[in-house]
């Protein structure tokens, strides 16, 4: 029985040491993630431009929304630098940022999908 607990403890310690190694994000993966996030930012701005082009929002509202998108991207970059690339970024998970709908949100995450309420 004592041998069983020693083996179990060894396996547990080994698992605790190896899991962070596999969870580490490589520099190439970080670059790919940053490129994908930049594509998201560009697409969000294109969508805002299309709304302005269609007359759904004014030029001033589009500019404010795009400024909010830029500010959110800057925050994402700072947050991941401070907390690591694998840290969850506020606004990218369920119940925050994306998916709150038109002008949805509260507190620091107010603004919904496109970075502001027009």
Q: Is residue 4 part of a domain?
A: no
pLDDT confidence of 3, banded at 50, 70, 90? confident
Q: Is residue 69 part of a domain?
A: yes
Q: Is residue 47 part of a domain?
A: yes
Give the pLDDT confidence of 28-56 residue by residue, as tens digits: 988 898 899 999 999 999 999 999 999 99
Which residues, at least 6 apart from 71, have a Cβ–Cβ distance to it below 8 Å? 115
Domain range for 31:
26-86
Q: Is residue 15 part of a domain?
A: no
pTM greater than 0.85 (yes/no): no
Q: Is residue 94 part of a domain?
A: no
**How many domains are contained in the chain?**
1
Q: Is residue 109 part of a domain?
A: no
Q: Please, are residues 28 and 85 in contact by the beta-carbon 8 Å criterion?
A: no
Q: Please, are residues 85 and 23 in contact by the beta-carbon 8 Å criterion?
A: no
Q: Is residue 11 part of a domain?
A: no
CA 58/CA 56 separation, integer angstroms: 7
């Amino acid at each position: 029985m004592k041998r069983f607990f020693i083996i179990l403890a060894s396996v547990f310690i080994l698992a605790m040491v190896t899991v962070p190694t596999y969870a580490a994000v490589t520099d190439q993966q970080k670059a790919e993630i940053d490129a994908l996030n930049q594509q998201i930012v560009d697409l969000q701005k294109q969508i805002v431009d299309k709304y302005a082009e269609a007359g759904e929002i004014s030029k001033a509202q589009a500019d404010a929304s795009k400024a909010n998108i830029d500010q959110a991207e800057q925050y994402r970059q700072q947050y991941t630098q401070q907390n690591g690339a694998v840290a969850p970024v506020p606004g990218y998970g369920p119940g925050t940022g994306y998916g709150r709908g038109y002008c949805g949100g509260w507190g620091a995450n107010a603004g919904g999908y496109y970075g502001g309420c027009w």
